[in-house]
Amino acid sequence: MGHLGSVVGDGLAVRAHAGEEVRLLLLTHGDYDHAGSAAYLCDRYGSEIAVHRDDAERVRTADWSSGMKPRPDKFGLVNRVVSRFIKPGPFDAFEPGISVEDGQPLAGYGLDATILHLPGHTRGSIGVLIGDGDIFCGDLMDSMGKPSLARLRSLDVRTVYPGHVKPFLFERVRGVHPPR
């Protein structure tokens, strides 16, 4: 388990020690850096793992390239060349227990939130829109397609919580046009 997995695991351990049940591990997409510790955390806490069906094969096979376009929109020539030599770290494959779909509410897990299918970074990328307008979106802002960005613009999104950078107000990107 990598450093981030340790941090997440430690945070979950504190909640479990306090008597809180960890019922759901919700993956925003099936990349190894977001799903790589999910099998461990599921085993440790007895949680179910949820992922969109379009990324399920990626986590079943631990194949981070499964379902990716041959030439992803976000990568320029330099990134495509470098990516041939840099490979992801270890990844424990697993069978997701739950397949989430667009519009699915998470009230059954105690959350005032809804799943949004927002393909772009991967075919199964999702966002979790919280009732107050905040969205947790993994790597969505990294390579979002025009339809997904247009959809977010049509919603009352307030703050974006991406996977690798600090949260920011969505109004900062409302006028930005994603790559073609």
> What are the residue ranges spanned by the domains of the chain?
3-172
8 Å CB contact between 169 and 178: no
Is the domain 3-172 a CATH 3.40.50.300 member? no
Lookup: tokens for 82? 């470098």
Q: Are residues 51 and 121 in contact, defined by beta-carbon separation less than 8 angstroms?
A: no
Q: Are 140 and 132 in contact (CB under 8 A)?
A: no
* 51-99 confidence digits (pLDDT tens): 999 999 989 988 777 766 555 545 555 555 655 666 666 678 899 999 9
At 180 the pLDDT is 47
pLDDT in tens, 112-167: 999 999 887 788 889 999 999 999 988 766 556 667 778 888 888 999 888 778 88
pLDDT score for 95: 92
Q: pTM score, two decimals?
A: 0.78
pLDDT in tens, 12-49: 676 666 667 888 889 988 877 778 888 888 888 888 99
How far is it, in rounded angstroms, from Cα 178 to Cα 180? Answer: 7
Return the pLDDT at 44. 86
